[in-house]
C-alpha cells in the first residue's frame, strides 16, 4: 500500500513527460496525418536550446524558464520551414513523407553532433527545482512537479487555442472536411502550415522538460518518438482528451509495472497491453467521425 | 615525432583504410615497420568512452616509437571504427588480420564487442589486447585481458563493503551481459557471507527515468548500493538519487563503471563521497603514473583526465612491445610464450602477465570521489592479485562456475 502511494507522483510524472512529448505529435500526426519522424529531433532541439541558453548565453538556472518560449519559437519556425519547404509536396503520400522526415531526422542529429559535439551535455536545473519534499511519506521531486505543471498548462493552452481561437476553428474545420473548408474560404494551406508549426513548437517545449530529467544527446529524440506515437494512437488521432488519458494511463502502467518487475520488463508489459488494447479498439480511446477520414 | 604529424599520419591511415579496404597492403611487418590495429568505437553511443582509450593507445605507440620502436621497427597504427556495433567489430577485426596483416590489435570495450571478435581472433590466430574490466568466465589464448577480472575488482569491492559493516546491499545495473554476470557473482558472495540483497534492478542501456528505482532503494533502506550501470544512465541515476534526498552519508553507492572521465560528466558535487572500485586512479602515486599523466596532458591538453581503461590500454602496448622484444619476432605464438611471467612497471604499479589465464596480476583499489572530482584511494589489496577469471579459488563461487 505504502509503495502504491509512493509510486503515484512518479506515475503522474512519467505520464506528464509522455504527454508533453505527444502533444505536438497530436497536431502533426493526429490532426494532419503526417508521420513526422523528425518530431523526436524537435524535442532534441528544444533540449539543446535550454543547454545553449545556459552554457553560451550564461543564463544559469533560469535558462530553463527562458528556454520554454525560445524553444517554442525555434522549433515552430523549423516546423514551418519543414512543412512549407518539403512536406506539403508530399501530402497523400504517407510512405514518402515517412522516409523524407526520417532523412530530416538523421540530418538534424548529425547537425547536433557537429554543433554540440557527440558526447552528451547536461543542463543544470535551477536550485528551486533540484531536490524534493516529503509529504505524508510520499517523496515529490520538484523537477517532476514542474513537468506535471508544465503539461497541465500546455493542455489548457491547447484546449483554448483549438476551442476558442479563430485559427483553432479553422483547424477543426479543415480536419472535419478539407474540401468544404476550402470552398468556405478557409486558406487550407496556411492552416496546414500553422498547425504544423504549433505542433513542432510544442515539441520544443517538451524538449526543455526532457533537459530536466537526464543528459541531452543528439539521439535523445529517438528514445521518445515511439512512446509519443503510441500515446497518440492509443488516445485516438487528434483527440486532446484521448492523448491526456492515454499518456497518464501509460505512465501509470509503466511506473507500476516497473515497481513489480523492473524497468526492462515494464516496457514489455506496456507494449503487450497496448497491442491487446489496439486489437479491441483499433481507432484508439476516442475517434472523430468525419467524411475526410471516411 | 610531434603530435600534429603523428596524428595526421594516424588519420591518413584511417582514411586510406576506409576508402580502399585493402589499402595498406603487403606484409604487416617490414624491415622498418610493424603494423598494429586499433579497433575502437569512434562513433555511436560508446564513442564517448572508447575515443579516450584510443587516445591512450596512440600515446603509447608514439612513446614506444620515440624510444626506437619494437625490434628496431617503427609501429604503424591502422585505426578502425567499431561504430558501437559488435558485427562491425567482428568485420573490422577480420579486415585488420587478413588484409592489413597486423601483428596485434588493441581494442574493444563492451563485452558484446569482445565476444563478437573472439572467434575471429581464434580462427586467424591473431592477438587482441582487451583493455577493460569485465565479468570474467573467459580466457581465450588469443586475447590478452589487461583490465581486471572479477576477483581483481568486484570481489575486493565486496570485501571492502563487508569490512565497513555493510550487510544489506541493493543492486542496480544496465540490462546486458556484464551487469547480469557480475550480479550473479555478487549474489553468490552475499549468500556465503551473510549479506542480504535488498533488491536487484536492471534498466535498459541509455535509460534515464530512475525515480522508481530510487523510490525502491529509499524504501528498502540498504546499507549500500552496488552499481553496475554503464554509460550515460549513471548521470540520470545519480542526479535522481540525490534529488530523492539520499547522500553518500546515508548510503554510499559503489560503482564499477564510473571512472574519472564519467565523474566530470555526472558532476562531482553529486558524486561527493560515493565509492568506486578500479585498479588505477589518476591520483595513484607512482613515478610511472606521474610520467603517464604528464605525457597524456602534454599531448591532449591539461584538462583531460586519465582513467583505468585508458591506463590498461596504454599498458597493453608496452606489454606487447616488451613481449615482442623478448620473443625476437611478432608471431602470435612466440609473443604469447615470451609474455609469460613478464612484469612491467605500469602507472598502476607492477603488473605481471599470467600465461595460464591470459590476464594480468594487478592491485585492486577502492577510491572515494571528492567534491572536486578527484578520486582518492581509501583502500587497496596490498599487492597484485593473481587473476582468477573462473573464481576457481573461491568456494562460494562453486554454484556459478560454468
pLDDT digits (tens, 9 = 90+) for B313-335: 999 999 999 999 999 999 999 99
Q: Which residues of B touch A263 (CB under 8 A)?
A: 175, 201-204, 207, 209, 212-213
Residue of chain A minimizing CA distance to B237: A214
Residues 166-205 of A with CB under 8 A from B: none
By Cβ distance, the residue of A144, A213, A263 closest to B201 is A263
Q: Do B244 and A217 touch (CB under 8 A)?
A: no
Whether the pLDDT of residue A294 is over 80: the answer is no
Q: Which domains are present in chain B?
A: 27-148+284-362 (3.40.50.2300), 151-283+364-400 (3.40.50.2300)
pLDDT at B21: 40
For residue B59, CA distances in Å to B4, B294, B345 come to: 12, 12, 17
- Residue spans of the domains in chain A: they are 15-220
| Better-predicted residue by pLDDT, B312 or A130 | B312
pLDDT digits (tens, 9 = 90+) for B199-244: 999 998 878 889 899 999 998 999 999 999 987 788 889 988 988 8
State the smallest CA–CA distance between residue B236 and chain A in angstroms: 5
pLDDT digits (tens, 9 = 90+) for B191-210: 999 999 999 999 988 788 89
Q: Do B235 and A122 touch (CB under 8 A)?
A: yes
Q: Do B201 and A10 touch (CB under 8 A)?
A: no
pLDDT digits (tens, 9 = 90+) for B349-371: 999 999 999 999 999 999 999 98
Q: Do A259 and B216 touch (CB under 8 A)?
A: yes
Whether the pLDDT of residue B109 is over 70: the answer is yes
User: Which of A186, A232, A207 has its CA nearest to residue A75?
Assistant: A207
- Which run of H or E residues covers position B117? helix B111-124
**Preferred mutation among A215, A216, A221, A266 to probe B, highest tally of B CBs within 10 A:** A215
- Which run of H or E residues covers position A258? helix A240-260
Q: Which residues of B touch A10 (CB under 8 A)?
A: 211-212, 215
Four-residue CA torsion sign, B240, B242, B245, B247 = positive
Question: How many Cα atoms sit within 13 Å of B265 on the Cβ side?
Answer: 22
Q: What is the C-alpha to C-alpha distance for residues B316 and B255, in angstroms, rounded to an integer?
A: 24
Q: What is the mean pLDDT of chain B?
A: 90
Residue of chain A minimizing CA distance to B42: A118
pLDDT at A290: 54
Give yes or no for a contact between B377 and B366, defined as CB atoms under 8 angstroms apart.
yes
For residue A20, CA distances in Å to A8, A165, A227, A267, B212 come to: 18, 21, 11, 19, 20
State the smallest CA–CA distance between residue B228 and chain A in angstroms: 15
Beta bridge partners of B353: B360
By Cβ distance, the residue of B209, B215, B236 closest to A6 is B215
Q: Do B215 and A139 touch (CB under 8 A)?
A: yes
Helix axis angle, A39-55 to A94-116, nearest 10°: 20
Q: Do A141 and B243 touch (CB under 8 A)?
A: yes
For residue B325, CA distances in Å to B143, B334, B338, B357, B374 come to: 19, 10, 9, 22, 37
Q: Do A259 and B212 touch (CB under 8 A)?
A: yes
Whether the pLDDT of residue A25 is over 70: the answer is yes
Residues 165-224 of B with CB under 8 A from A: 175, 200-204, 206-209, 211-213, 215-216, 218-219
Alpha carbon distance, N-terminus to C-terminus of chain B: 48
| Better-predicted residue by pLDDT, A274 or B20 | A274
Whether the pLDDT of residue A14 is over 70: the answer is yes
pLDDT at B20: 39
Residues 242-301 of B with CB under 8 A from A: 242-245, 265, 267
**Preferred mutation among A258, A260, A261 to probe B, highest tally of B CBs within 10 A:** A258
Q: What is the C-alpha to C-alpha distance for residues B248 and A36, in angstroms, rounded to an integer?
A: 44
C-alpha cell at B302: 591539461
Helix axis angle, A188-211 to A142-164, nearest 10°: 170
Give yes or no for a contact between A51 and A216, defined as CB atoms under 8 angstroms apart.
yes
Q: How many CB pairs under 8 A join A and B?
A: 89
B21: left (phi over 0), alpha (psi -120 to 50) or beta: left
- Residue B150 backbone phi and psi in degrees, to 5: -50, -45
By Cβ distance, the residue of B175, B242, B243 closest to A264 is B175
Q: What is the ipTM of this complex?
A: 0.78
By Cβ distance, the residue of A119, A139, A223 closest to B218 is A139
State the smallest CA–CA distance between residue B369 and chain A in angstroms: 20
pLDDT at B13: 46
pLDDT digits (tens, 9 = 90+) for A33-44: 888 899 999 999
Question: How many Cα atoms sit within 13 Å of B369 on the Cβ side?
Answer: 31
Give yes or no for a contact between B215 and A139, defined as CB atoms under 8 angstroms apart.
yes
Residue of chain B minimizing CA distance to A118: B48
Q: Do A258 and B243 touch (CB under 8 A)?
A: no
Give yes or no for a contact between B308 and B181, defined as CB atoms under 8 angstroms apart.
no
Q: Do B203 and A264 touch (CB under 8 A)?
A: yes
Reported as a pLDDT band with limits 50, 70 and 90, residue B24 is very low
Amino acid at each position: 500500500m505504502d509503495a502504491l502511494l509512493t509510486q503515484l507522483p512518479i506515475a503522474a510524472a512519467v505520464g506528464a513527460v509522455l504527454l508533453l512529448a505527444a502533444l505536438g505529435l497530436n497536431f502533426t500526426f493526429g490532426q494532419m496525418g503526417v508521420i513526422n519522424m523528425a518530431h523526436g529531433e524537435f524535442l532534441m532541439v528544444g533540449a539543446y536550446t535550454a543547454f545553449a541558453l545556459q552554457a553560451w548565453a550564461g543564463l544559469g538556472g533560469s535558462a530553463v524558464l527562458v528556454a520554454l518560449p525560445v524553444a517554442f519559437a525555434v522549433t515552430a519556425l523549423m516546423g514551418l520551414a519543414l512543412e512549407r519547404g518539403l512536406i506539403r509536396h508530399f501530402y497523400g503520400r504517407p510512405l514518402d513523407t515517412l522516409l523524407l522526415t526520417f532523412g530530416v531526422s538523421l540530418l538534424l542529429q548529425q547537425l547536433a553532433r557537429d554543433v554540440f559535439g557527440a558526447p552528451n551535455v547536461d543542463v543544470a536545473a535551477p536550485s528551486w527545482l533540484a531536490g524534493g519534499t516529503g509529504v505524508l511519506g510520499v517523496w515529490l521531486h520538484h523537477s517532476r512537479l514542474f513537468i506535471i505543471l508544465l503539461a497541465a498548462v500546455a493542455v489548457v493552452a491547447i484546449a483554448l487555442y483549438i476551442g476558442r481561437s479563430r485559427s483553432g476553428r479553422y483547424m477543426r474545420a479543415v480536419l472535419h472536411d478539407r474540401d468544404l473548408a476550402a470552398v468556405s474560404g478557409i486558406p487550407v494551406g496556411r492552416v496546414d502550415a500553422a498547425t504544423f508549426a504549433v505542433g513542432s513548437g510544442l515539441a520544443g517545449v517538451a524538449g526543455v522538460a526532457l533537459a530536466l530529467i537526464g543528459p541531452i544527446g543528439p539521439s535523445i529524440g529517438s528514445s521518445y518518438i515511439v512512446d509519443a506515437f503510441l500515446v497518440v494512437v492509443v488516445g485516438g488521432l487528434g483527440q486532446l482528451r484521448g492523448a491526456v488519458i492515454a499518456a497518464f494511463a501509460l505512465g501509470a502502467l509503466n511506473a507500476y509495472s516497473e515497481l513489480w518487475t523492473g524497468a526492462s520488463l515494464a516496457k514489455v508489459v506496456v507494449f503487450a497491453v497496448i497491442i491487446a488494447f489496439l486489437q479491441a479498439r483499433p481507432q484508439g480511446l476516442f475517434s472523430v467521425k468525419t467524411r475526410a477520414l471516411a | 615525432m610531434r603530435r600534429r604529424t603523428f596524428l595526421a599520419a594516424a588519420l591518413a591511415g584511417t582514411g586510406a583504410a576506409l576508402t580502399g579496404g585493402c589499402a595498406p597492403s603487403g606484409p604487416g611487418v617490414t624491415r622498418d615497420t610493424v603494423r598494429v590495429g586499433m579497433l575502437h568505437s569512434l562513433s555511436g553511443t560508446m564513442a564517448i568512452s572508447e575515443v579516450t582509450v584510443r587516445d591512450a593507445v596512440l600515446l603509447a605507440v608514439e612513446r614506444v616509437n620515440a624510444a626506437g620502436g619494437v625490434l628496431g621497427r617503427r609501429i604503424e597504427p591502422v585505426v578502425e571504427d567499431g561504430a558501437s556495433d559488435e558485427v562491425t567489430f567482428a568485420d573490422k577485426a577480420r579486415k585488420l588480420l587478413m588484409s592489413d596483416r597486423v601483428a596485434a590489435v588493441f581494442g574493444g570495450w563492451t563485452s558484446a564487442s569482445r565476444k563478437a571478435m573472439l572467434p575471429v581472433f581464434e580462427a586467424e590466430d591473431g592477438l587482441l589486447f582487451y583493455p577493460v574490466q569485465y565479468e570474467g568466465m573467459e580466457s581465450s589464448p588469443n586475447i590478452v585481458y589487461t583490465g581486471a577480472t572479477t576477483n581483481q575488482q568486484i570481489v575486493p569491492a565486496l570485501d571492502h563493503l563487508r569490512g565497513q559493516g555493510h550487510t544489506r546491499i541493493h543492486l542496480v545495473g544496465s540490462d546486458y551481459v556484464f551487469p547480469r554476470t557480475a550480479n550473479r557473482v555478487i549474489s553468490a558472495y552475499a549468500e556465503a557471507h551473510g549479506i542480504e540483497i535488498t533488491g536487484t534492478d536492471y534498466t535498459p542501456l541509455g535509460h534515464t527515468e530512475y525515480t522508481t528505482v530510487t523510490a525502491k532503494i529509499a524504501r528498502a533502506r540498504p546499507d549500500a548500493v552496488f552499481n553496475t550501470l554503464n554509460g550515460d544512465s549513471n548521470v540520470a541515476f545519480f542526479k535522481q538519487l540525490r534529488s530523492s534526498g539520499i547522500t553518500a552519508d546515508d548510503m554510499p553507492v559503489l560503482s564499477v563503471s564510473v571512472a574519472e572521465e564519467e565523474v566530470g560528466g555526472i558532476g562531482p558535487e553529486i558524486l561527493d563521497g560515493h565509492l568506486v572500485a578500479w585498479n588505477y586512479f589518476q591520483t595513484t602515486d607512482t613515478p610511472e603514473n606521474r610520467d603517464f599523466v604528464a605525457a597524456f596532458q602534454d599531448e591532449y591538453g591539461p584538462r583531460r583526465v586519465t582513467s583505468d581503461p585508458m591506463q590498461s590500454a596504454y599498458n597493453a602496448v608496452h606489454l606487447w612491445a616488451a613481449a615482442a622484444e623478448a620473443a625476437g619476432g611478432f608471431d602470435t605464438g612466440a609473443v604469447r610464450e615470451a609474455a609469460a611471467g613478464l612484469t612491467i612497471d605500469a602507472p598502476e604499479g607492477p603488473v605481471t602477465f599470467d600465461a595460464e589465464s591470459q590476464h594480468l596480476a594487478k592491485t585492486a583499489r577502492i577510491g572515494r570521489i571528492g567534491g572536486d572530482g578527484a578520486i582518492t584511494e581509501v583502500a587497496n589489496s596490498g599487492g597484485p592479485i593473481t587473476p582468477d577469471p573462473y573464481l576457481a579459488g573461491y568456494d562460494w563461487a562453486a554454484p556459478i562456475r560454468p
